[in-house]
Structure 1
Amino acid sequence: MAGKMAGNPAGKCRDFDHSPEKLKATLNNIFRLQEFRVNQLEAIKATILKKNVLVVGDNGAGKSLCYQLPACLSAGVTVVISPLISLIQDQIQKLTELGIDARTLSGDIGHSAADSIYQQLSEEDPIIKLLYVTPEKVSMSRPLIKALKSLLDRDLLARFVIDEAQCISQWGYDFRPDYGTLNELQQDFLGVPMIALSGPVTPPIQENILKSLQMNDPQVFTMHFIPTNLKYAVETRTLDGGTDCITWIKEHYPHESGIVYCWRQDDCDNMADSLNEAGLLACSYHAGKTGEHRESVQNRWKENKCQVICATVAFGMGIHKPDVRYVIHSFLPKSMEQYHRETGRAGRDGNVSHCILFYNYKDYKDLHYVISQESKKMELDNLKRIVQYCGNTKDCRRIQLLSYFGGVKTEANLCEENTEAICDNCESANEMMNVKEEGEGEMT
C-alpha cells in the first residue's frame, strides 16, 4: 500500500438515519433479532459516528453485528479483513440469507467473478455492502488497492473491519504474520474509521492490538460472556486418553455431536480410529489433511453425518454448529485463551453442554519441554496459567475464566444461574455442604 490517501475527516458522517429507533428496527427487520446484547448498541453507534473501535468478546457474544448492522445503514462499502476463507464463506452465506449483499475477493473465486466484483465497486452506487478479503489480498493485490482508492475518492469507503484482531498480536494465541501490514491502513486511507474485533484476550494484549493497528483515539467495548449453559469440569486423564473419551461420550452423549481436541495430528487420527472402533462415528481434522478433506469432514459433521470431530487447533475459527453437546480436551491446552475459545463452540443453541478437560501432569511436562526449546517465555507463562486452572479445585470455573480475562471479580457463585450446568468445583462444594447439613441434622 503506497502513498497517503486523503479522505473525509473522521468526525464527518454521511446523511442517514442512525437514531436508536432506526437501529432497533434494522436489528428486528433485517437481522431478525429482538434485543441488542451488552455493549452492541454502543459499539454500533461509535462506528457509525466514524470512531475507531475495538470490540473484545467471547464466542457467540455478537461481535459481527457491530459492523454488519452499520454496513447496512452506511453509504458505501464496508471492507472486512478476515484470516480464513472458510470463515469468510460462512459469513457471506449468513448475510446472503438475510438479504444483505456481501462478496469476497478471495483467491479461489476466479478471474471472471473478480472482474464482476471490481465492476460493481466502480459503479456510482455499489450494491455491495460488505466486501470480505484476506490480509494477504490487502497487502499483495494492486487491483484491490486501486478499487479501494476509487471508493475513498468517491466517499464510498465506509470503514475497515479487522476480524479476529488477536491475530495481529505477537503475544496472542492466534498470531499471524500476514496481519502485520494492516497498521498501514490508518496512514494510507486517512479518515476511514476502523473497527477491530477480537476474541477473548487479556488487557495487555488488547493494548498490544491497539498499538499494532495504530488506532487513534479508540473506543474499547468488551462483551465478556461466560455461558451459563456450559458445564465446565476437569478430570484426571489416564495414560490411555482414548478410553477416557469413549467412556465419557458413551455415558453422556452416545448419539449427539461433539468435538475432541487433541495435541498432534497423529493423536487426532488415532483418537478417531479408537472412537470408530467403539461404535462412535468419528472423523479426523488437522492441517496435515488436504483442504478438500477438511471441508468434507466439516460439512459431514454439520449435517450430522459424522458425530465426533477429532481435531487439533486447526479446527477453529468460523465454527458455528449450534447443537455441539460437548467439547473434550484430551490433552492440556497451551493457554487459557485457547481453552476458552475452543470450549465456546459448545452449546450455541443455549442447551446444557459439557466442557471436559482430561488433565495429566505429564501433558504439562511434555508441552513445557517443547515450548522451552523454542524459548517462548510468554507461552510458558500461558501454560502455567492453564495448569493453575486445572489444579484449582476450589473456585468456580466461571469465576476463574472471567477473572483471567479482566472481567468483574465477584464472590458470587456464577453457577447458580443454571444448576443443570454447575461446574465441577461448585458441584463438589454443594455436595460437601449437603453432607455437612445432613450430619448436623443427625446430631440434633
Structure 2
Amino acid sequence: MEDDNVVMIDDEDDVYKVTADDEIAAIDFELQKIDEEIDKLKEKRLVLSQRKEKIKDNELLKKSLKTANKNWEKSTFSWSKKLENGLADIFKIKKFREHQLSAMNAVLSGEDTILVMPTGGGKSLCYQLPAVISKGVTVVISPLIALMEDQLYGLKKIGVKSGMMNAKTDKDITKSMMDALEGKNHDIKLIYITPEYMKKSKRFMAKVQKAFNLKLLTMFAIDEVHCCSQWGHDFRPDYQFLSCLKSMFPGVPILGLTATAPAKIISDVQKMLDIQGCLVLRAPFNRPNLFYEVRRKPADKDVCLSMIQNLLKSRFADKSGIIYTTTIKEAEQLTSDLRDKGLKVGCYHAILEPEVRSKIYSRWITGEYQAVVATIAFGLGIDKSDCRFIIHHCISKSMENFYQESGRSGRDGKKAVCIVLYRLADVFRLSPMVIGDKVGLQNLYKTLEYCLDPQTCRRSLIANHFEEKWNKNDCAEMCDHCRCPKKIKETDIGNYCRQIYQIIDKALKTDTNLTLIKLIDAWFSKGTASHRVAAVPVPKFSREAGENIVGFLLINGYLKEDFVFNAYSNLTYLIKGPKAGRAMDKSHKIMFVHDEGLGI
C-alpha cells in the first residue's frame, strides 16, 4: 500500500522519494526568500518616498530662504522707535536677542513667520512687544493653560493688560475680551486662548471676525506650532482647525513659535497653515552651558534612590533643579522617598489644586525647595534662571521633549547639568503610551538610540536630530562622552540575534508572550524554565550588555514590539522584526558598536 505522504519523482534512471514534509520545507524556503525580497523592496520604496518628500520640502525651504535674505534686522521701519522704547520702558530689557527683532519686523510688515528658538530664548516677546505698540488685538493660541497663566502673570507685573479665555473664565473677564474684539476696550492688547476653545466657540470666532472687519486684528501668534504637524512629537488634532485662519482673515500675519522642529515638521506646518514659503527664522540649537550625561538607571529602587540622594546632597548641594518623572504616581512616590531621606523637594503635577501648585512653585522659586519632582508639564514657559540641574528619572518620549525639558536649566547662561537615568525597561513602559501617535514609537526609539550610543558627542546627536551643522570642537567637553571617552569595540551580534529568535520561536509554539524581562531571563537561563532553550548558551557578558543588544536589535528592526490592549492596561511583547529574514542568513553581519567594558 502506497504512502499518501510520499511523492515519487522519476529523473531518467533514478527514482527519488519526496515526502510532504520535504515539499513543505522547500516551499517555506521559497516563501522566506520572497519575504526577504519584499522586505528589501519595502525598504527601497520607503527610501524613495522619503527622498521625494525631502526634495519637495527643500523647495519650500528655498522659498523661505529667499524671504529671509531681506534685511529684517534694520531699525528704519516706521515702528522701529516704538519697538525700542517699548523694549526699554515697558519690558525693561536692554537689547534684543538673536532673531527677536527680525521676527517682530516681519510680522509688523504683514509677513507670515515661523520662529524656531531654544527654550528660554525669548520667543514670547516676539508677539508681546508688537502687540503692545499696535492699536489692535493679538490672539495668542497656546496648548496649555498653565503656560498662559504664567505669561499673563508676567504681563500683569509690567502693566500690560491681557486676558485668557476658556470654559472656566469669569464672565466679566470674558466680556472685557469680547469688548476688545469689538473695539470697545482698547486697553486689552493680547487674548490667550487654547485651540480647543477656539474651535468650539462660535461666539468667539464671530467676535474675531468683527475685529478683522474693524481692522483691529494685529496678528495670530501660535505657540508650540509644531503641534500642528502629525509628524510632530506633540500633535494635537484641534490645532488643525487653525488651517482656516489664512482664508478667513487674509492679510493678518501668523507668527508660529516653537523650540523644537526639524525641517520636515516646519514644511508640514507651512502646508497645514497655508503659509508655504513663509519666513523661517531658526536660532542655533546648541546650549553651550549645558552638560549632557546619560547614566545607567539601577534596576533596584533603593540603589536608584541612593544615587539621586547622593547627587542632590553632593554634586548639586545648595543648587536648584527639576527631577522629571513619567507619571503622577511616580512623582508622588519619589517625592515621598526623597523627603524620607531629608531632602527638601516638592511634588508638582496636573491634578493638584491650583493653590497647591502655586505654593509648590513659589517654594521652589524662592529656594525653600531644592528641587521639584514633576511630570513633564512642569516648566513650560517658566523662567527660573538659576535652575542648575535637570534629572530625567525616566527617558523622554522624544528627542524634542528631551531638548525642551533639558533646556529649562541654565537660562542665566551659567553652567547646568542634564542627566538622563536610562534603563531599557522604561522604554517598554512608555511605548504603549505613544503607540497611538503617528510617529510616537519612532520618536521614542530616537531617544533610546541617544542613550545607547557609546561614543558619539551628545551635543552632535542633538544637533544631527535637528539638522544643525556641527563642529566636534563646539562641545568643549560639555558631555560625558567628550569629557571621558570610552574604549570602543565593534562586534558582529548576528549569532546572538539568532539565539534570541530561538527563544521567541519556542514561545510562539506554546502561545507564550515574551516581555523584555522574560526574554532576557530565558536568554540568561533565569526565570521560568519552560521559556529557556537548551541549545542557546548562557551569555558570558552581563545582563546589562544583553539589554543593550536587545535595545540595538529593536531600534534597527531585527526585533519588534507587539502590542496587546485589554480592559486594564496596554501591554507590549517582543517578536521578530521586519529584518528577521535577513538576520537568519548567517552571512549577514549585524555590527554592534559598544563600550569595550561590556565584555561582549
Is 1:378 paired with 2:434?
Answer: no
Is 1:401 paired with 2:477?
Answer: no
- Could you tell me how far apart the structure 1 residues matched to 2:387 and 2:211 are? 42
Q: CA deviation at 1:211?
A: 2.0
Residue 184 of structure 1 is matched in structure 2 by: 244
Contact 1:52 1:217 in 2 (8 A): no
Q: Residue type matched to 1:305 in 2? A: E
Alignment deviations for residues 353-395 of structure 1 (CA, whole Å, 9 cap, x no partner): 1101111233334444x368x3656222222221222233433
Residue 223 of structure 1 is matched in structure 2 by: 283
- Could you tell me how far apart the structure 2 residues matched to 1:265 and 1:118 are? 37
Aligned pair in 2 of structure 1 residues 383, 146: CA closer, same or farther (>3 Å)? Answer: closer
Q: CA deviation at 1:108?
A: 3.1
Residue 234 of structure 1 is matched in structure 2 by: 294
Within a 5 Å distance, the mapping from 1:420-435 to structure 2 comes to 422-429=478-485
For residue 299 of structure 1, the aligned residue among 362, 365, 374 is 362
Q: CA deviation at 1:21?
A: 5.0
Secondary structure at the residue paired with 1:104?
A: strand
Residue 336 of structure 2 is matched in structure 1 by: 273
Within a 5 Å distance, the mapping from 1:199-214 to structure 2 comes to 199-214=259-274
TM (norm. structure 2) is 0.64
Alignment deviations for residues 214-239 of structure 1 (CA, whole Å, 9 cap, x no partner): 22541111123322221111112111
Q: Residue type matched to 1:387 in 2? A: L
Is 1:139 paired with 2:199?
Answer: yes
Residue 194 of structure 1 is matched in structure 2 by: 254
Aligned pair in 2 of structure 1 residues 408, 26: CA closer, same or farther (>3 Å)? Answer: farther
TM (norm. structure 1) is 0.85
Within a 5 Å distance, the mapping from 1:113-128 to structure 2 comes to 113-123=173-183, 126-128=186-188
Aligned pair in 2 of structure 1 residues 285, 93: CA closer, same or farther (>3 Å)? Answer: closer
Q: Residue type matched to 1:203 in 2? A: A
Residue 66 of structure 1 is matched in structure 2 by: 126
Residue 315 of structure 2 is matched in structure 1 by: 252
- Could you tell me how far apart the structure 1 residues matched to 2:470 and 2:81 are? 34
- Could you tell me how far apart the structure 2 residues matched to 1:301 and 1:50 are? 41
Tell me the C-alpha RMSD between the 2 structures. 2.6
Contact 1:40 1:63 in 2 (8 A): yes
Residue 387 of structure 1 is matched in structure 2 by: 448
- Gaps spanning 5+ residues in structure 1: where? 1-15, 432-444
Aligned pair in 2 of structure 1 residues 261, 154: CA closer, same or farther (>3 Å)? Answer: same
- Could you tell me how far apart the structure 2 residues matched to 1:121 and 1:321 are? 34
Q: CA deviation at 1:291?
A: 4.6
Q: CA deviation at 1:109?
A: 3.1
Within a 5 Å distance, the mapping from 1:41-120 to structure 2 comes to 41-120=101-180
Contact 1:52 1:193 in 2 (8 A): yes
Q: CA deviation at 1:112?
A: 2.0
- Could you tell me how far apart the structure 1 residues matched to 2:469 and 2:228 are? 26
Rg (Cα) greater in structure: 2
Residue 318 of structure 1 is matched in structure 2 by: 381
Secondary structure at the residue paired with 1:381?
A: helix
Secondary structure at the residue paired with 1:54?
A: strand
- Could you tell me how far apart the structure 2 residues matched to 1:403 and 1:66 are? 27
Alignment deviations for residues 164-214 of structure 1 (CA, whole Å, 9 cap, x no partner): 112222222222222221112222222211111112122111122222222
- Could you tell me how far apart the structure 2 residues matched to 1:181 and 1:375 are? 20
Secondary structure at the residue paired with 1:317?
A: coil
Contact 1:82 1:133 in 2 (8 A): yes
Contact 1:415 1:426 in 2 (8 A): yes
Is 1:261 paired with 2:321?
Answer: no
Q: CA deviation at 1:316?
A: 4.4
Q: CA deviation at 1:313?
A: 2.0
Q: CA deviation at 1:292?
A: 4.8
For residue 166 of structure 1, the aligned residue among 187, 202, 226 is 226
Aligned pair in 2 of structure 1 residues 17, 75: CA closer, same or farther (>3 Å)? Answer: farther
Q: Residue type matched to 2:324 in 1? A: Y
Q: Residue type matched to 2:327 in 1? A: R
- Could you tell me how far apart the structure 2 residues matched to 1:379 and 1:115 are? 40
Alignment deviations for residues 31-82 of structure 1 (CA, whole Å, 9 cap, x no partner): 2223322222222111111111111121011211222222223231111111
Alignment deviations for residues 68-108 of structure 1 (CA, whole Å, 9 cap, x no partner): 22222323111111122221121122223233222222333
Aligned pair in 2 of structure 1 residues 166, 299: CA closer, same or farther (>3 Å)? Answer: farther
Is 1:330 paired with 2:393?
Answer: yes
- Could you tell me how far apart the structure 2 residues matched to 1:289 and 1:175 are? 25
| Structure ranking higher on relative contact order (CA contacts 8 Å, 6+ apart) | 1
Pick which of 280-289 and 290-299 moved more: 290-299
Q: CA deviation at 1:271?
A: 0.9
**Identical amino acids, percent of aligned pairs:** 34
- Gaps spanning 5+ residues in structure 2: where? 1-75, 488-600
Contact 1:52 1:216 in 2 (8 A): no
Q: Residue type matched to 1:409 in 2? A: W
Residue 189 of structure 2 is matched in structure 1 by: 129
Contact 1:321 1:348 in 2 (8 A): yes
- Could you tell me how far apart the structure 2 residues matched to 1:377 and 1:92 are? 33
Q: Residue type matched to 1:428 in 2? A: C
Is 1:350 paired with 2:422?
Answer: no
Contact 1:77 1:156 in 2 (8 A): yes
- Could you tell me how far apart the structure 1 residues matched to 2:379 and 2:234 are? 10
Q: CA deviation at 1:297?
A: 2.8
Alignment deviations for residues 245-264 of structure 1 (CA, whole Å, 9 cap, x no partner): 11211111233321111122
Q: CA deviation at 1:277?
A: 0.7
- Could you tell me how far apart the structure 2 residues matched to 1:155 and 1:88 are? 25
Pick which of 330-339 and 305-314 moved more: 305-314
Q: Residue type matched to 2:406 in 1? A: T
Q: CA deviation at 1:406?
A: 1.5
- Could you tell me how far apart the structure 2 residues matched to 1:415 and 1:17 are? 39
